[in-house]
Amino acid sequence: MSVAAKIETLRRTLGGRLTIMGHHYQHQSVINHTDLRGDSLELARKTAGVTSDFIVFCGVFFMAESAALLARPGQTVCIPDPSADCSMALMAPATRVRRMLELLGTNGRKIIPLAYVNSSLEVKAVVGEYGGAVCTSANAKTMLRWAMEQGDAVLFLPDKCLGANTAKLLGVPEEAIMALDIRADGKHIDLAEADKAKLLLWPGHCCIHTRFTLEQMAAMRAAHPGARIVVHPESLPAIVDAADAAGSTSFIIDYVAKAKAGETIVIGTEVNLVKRLAVEHAGRVTVLPLLETECSHMARTTEENLLELLESIAAGKPLHVVQPDTALFAPAKAALERMLTVCA
Ligand code: 13P
Ligand code: SF4
CA 126 to centroid of ligand 2, rounded, Å: 22
Q: Which ligand is nearest to the CA of 135?
A: 1
Strand partners, 115: 134, 157
- Match domain 3-85+298-323 to its CATH number in 3.40.630.10, 3.40.50.720, 3.40.1440.60, 3.40.50.10800: 3.40.50.10800
Q: Establish whether residue 287 lines the binding site of ligand 2, counting it when its CB lies within 6 angstroms of any ligand atom.
A: no
CA 105 – ligand 2 centroid, Å: 30
The whole model's pTM is what?
0.97
Gap from CA of 64 to ligand 1 centroid (Å): 13
pLDDT in tens, 287-314: 999 999 999 999 999 999 999 999 999 9
CATH topology of domain 209-289: Rossmann fold (3.40.50)
List Cβ neighbours of 183 (8 Å cut-off, separation of 6 or more): none
For 42, 116, 260, the CA distances from 123, given in Å and listed in that order, are 21, 10, 42
List, in order, residues 6 or more apart from 146 with CB less than 8 Å away: 133, 342
pLDDT lower than 50: segments of the chain: none
C-alpha span between 323 and 78 (Å, rounded):
9
pLDDT score for 140 = 98
Per-residue pLDDT, 189:
96
Number of Cβ within 10 Å of residue 211's Cβ equals: 16
pLDDT at residue number 241: 98
From CA 337, how far away is CA 69, in angstroms rounded? 10
- Domain ranges within the chain, ordered by starting residue: 3-85+298-323, 88-205, 209-289
Domain pair 3-85+298-323 / 209-289, same fold: yes
Nearest to 77 by CA among 87, 62, 94, 88: 62
Using the mean position of ligand 2's atoms as its centre, give its distance from the Cα of residue 256 in Å: 21
Instruction: Look at phi and psi of residue 230 and say left if phi exceeds 0, alpha if psi is from -120 to 50, else beta.
Output: beta
Q: Ligand 2, atom 2: nearest CA belongs to which residue?
A: 206
Q: Which pLDDT value is given to residue 220?
A: 98
* Amino acid identity, position 225: P
Around ligand 1, the residues with Cβ closer than 6 Å are 24, 39-40, 118, 136-137, 206, 232, 234, 248-249
Measure 39 CA to ligand 1 centroid, in angstroms.
6
Q: What pLDDT does 81 receive?
A: 98
**Domain covering 88-205: architecture:** 3-Layer(aba) Sandwich (3.40)
Is the peptide bond preceding residue 158 cis, with omega within 30 degrees of 0?
yes
CA distance 116 to 203: 13
Q: How far, in Å, CA of 288 to CA of 248, rounded?
A: 17
Rounded to whole angstroms, the Cα distance separating 63 from 302 reads: 16
159 DSSP β-pair partners:
204
pLDDT recorded at residue 33: 98
What is the structure's pLDDT at 190?
95
Ligand positioned closest to the Cα atom of 42: 1
Which residue, judged by its Cα, is nearest atom 2 of ligand 1? Answer: 40
Ligand 2 close to Cβ of residue 86 (< 6 A): yes
